[in-house]
Amino acid sequence: MSTTNHDARKAVVSFPSDTELVITRSFQAPRSLVFDALVKPEHVRRWYGMSADGMLVCDIDFRVGGRWHYVLAGEPGGDNHSFSGEYLEIDPPRRLVSTEGYDNIPGAVYTVTVTLEENDGVTTLTSHLQYPSQEHRDGHVGSRMEYGMNISYNRLEDLLAQLQQ
């Protein structure tokens, strides 16, 4: 059961250019805890994806040049959803840069720069996505990514509250 008002805590999405997407969301938690929740498999398994039992694979080789791979269960009878990338820059707990791709569509790879800023115990996560083309960005947005992202971020918010108890 959720202990937070998720409707008031949706991520803000903006489009600074034809090939960029910026996502911003604040969490009531210190940035070191938010950073850990983003990169430690035992935490990622608990918040990433559409449902608590939907993550089939969560492999993280957390180092520059290391790779990550997540597989989410699809609808019954449908395909699973596989995502992967490589860590390009790691500056805990402030910044993380990686590639990300939806493996079901080869070549759909973009760069994600996550920054975490903390003020009075509230951490603002800013995720800047840089795509190779407007077509790739628009395809990602058109996939209902924002809907799923907000579900994941709501679950992350609940996890962060649990970890602080």
pLDDT tens for 8-45 read 568 999 999 999 999 999 999 999 999 999 999 999 99
pTM for the model: 0.91
Fold designation for 6-163: Alpha-D-Glucose-1,6-Bisphosphate; Chain A, domain 4 (3.30.530)
Confidence (pLDDT) at 142: 87
Confidence (pLDDT) at 9: 66
Q: Which residues on adjacent β-strands are paired with residue 100? A: 110
Q: What is the DSSP letter of 78?
A: S
Query: Which residue numbers in the chain have pLDDT < 70?
Result: 1-9
Enumerate residues 6+ apart whose C-beta is below 8 A from 13. Answer: 21, 22, 23, 146
Structure-token match 């699973």, residue found = 80
Confidence (pLDDT) at 1: 36
Structure-token match 């959720």, residue found = 2
Confidence (pLDDT) at 34: 98
Instruction: Please tell me the distance from the alpha carbon of residue 121 to that of residue 31, in angstroms, as a whole number.
Output: 8
* Amino acid identity at 152: S
Confidence (pLDDT) at 101: 93
Instruction: Please tell me the distance from the alpha carbon of residue 161 to that of residue 117, in angstroms, as a whole number.
Output: 18
Enumerate residues 6+ apart whose C-beta is below 8 A from 17. Answer: none
